[in-house]
């Protein structure tokens, strides 16, 4: 009969190996700086058709190399975060600041 501790250690080693394999593609995706249409579509969760429309209307930052459309991941992240909707509080603060600045004397 095998030692139960050895069995546990073997299983832990296998689990660790599997976890490392799972984490590797994530690290690779995190270090990827330039993305093509397919990878950006997957990254943002939107269709390629929508991406083509956004590039043709120049609504999304991109570069063109021949027939290939490329995207800088950092610029895309900034663009995506720039689409944030302001809260009611933020809007009220802006209105109050504007009214204070432009008050009638």
Residue ranges of domains in the chain: 1-31, 35-105
Whether this model's pTM surpasses 0.75: no
Distance CA 57, CA 71 (A): 15
Tell whether the model's pLDDT for residue 102 goes beyond 60: yes
Tell whether the model's pLDDT for residue 75 goes beyond 70: yes
Task: Give the mean pLDDT of 14-37.
Answer: 79
User: Are 60 and 41 a contacting pair, CB within 8 Å?
Assistant: no
Model confidence band, residue 84 (pLDDT cutoffs 50, 70, 90): confident
Among the listed residues 57, 52, 56, the one whose alpha carbon sits nearest the alpha carbon of residue 36:
52
Per-residue b or e along 73-97, where b marks 16 or more CB atoms closer than 10 Å to that residue's CB: beebeebeeeeeeeeeeeeeeeeee
* pLDDT above 90 as % of the chain: 50
Model confidence band, residue 9 (pLDDT cutoffs 50, 70, 90): confident
Distance CA 27, CA 25 (A): 5
Distance CA 93, CA 87 (A): 10
Tell whether the model's pLDDT for residue 4 goes beyond 90: no
């Amino acid at each position: 009969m095998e030692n139960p501790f050895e069995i546990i250690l073997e299983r832990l080693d296998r689990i660790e190996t599997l976890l490392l394999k799972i984490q590797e593609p994530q690290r690779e995706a995190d270090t990827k700086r330039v993305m093509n249409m397919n990878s950006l579509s997957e990254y943002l969760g939107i269709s390629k058709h929508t991406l083509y429309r956004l590039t043709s209307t120049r609504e999304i930052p991109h570069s063109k190399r021949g027939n290939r459309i490329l995207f800088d991941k950092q610029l895309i992240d900034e663009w995506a975060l720039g689409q944030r909707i302001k809260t009611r509080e933020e809007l009220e603060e802006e209105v109050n600041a504007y009214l204070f600045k432009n008050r009638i004397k």
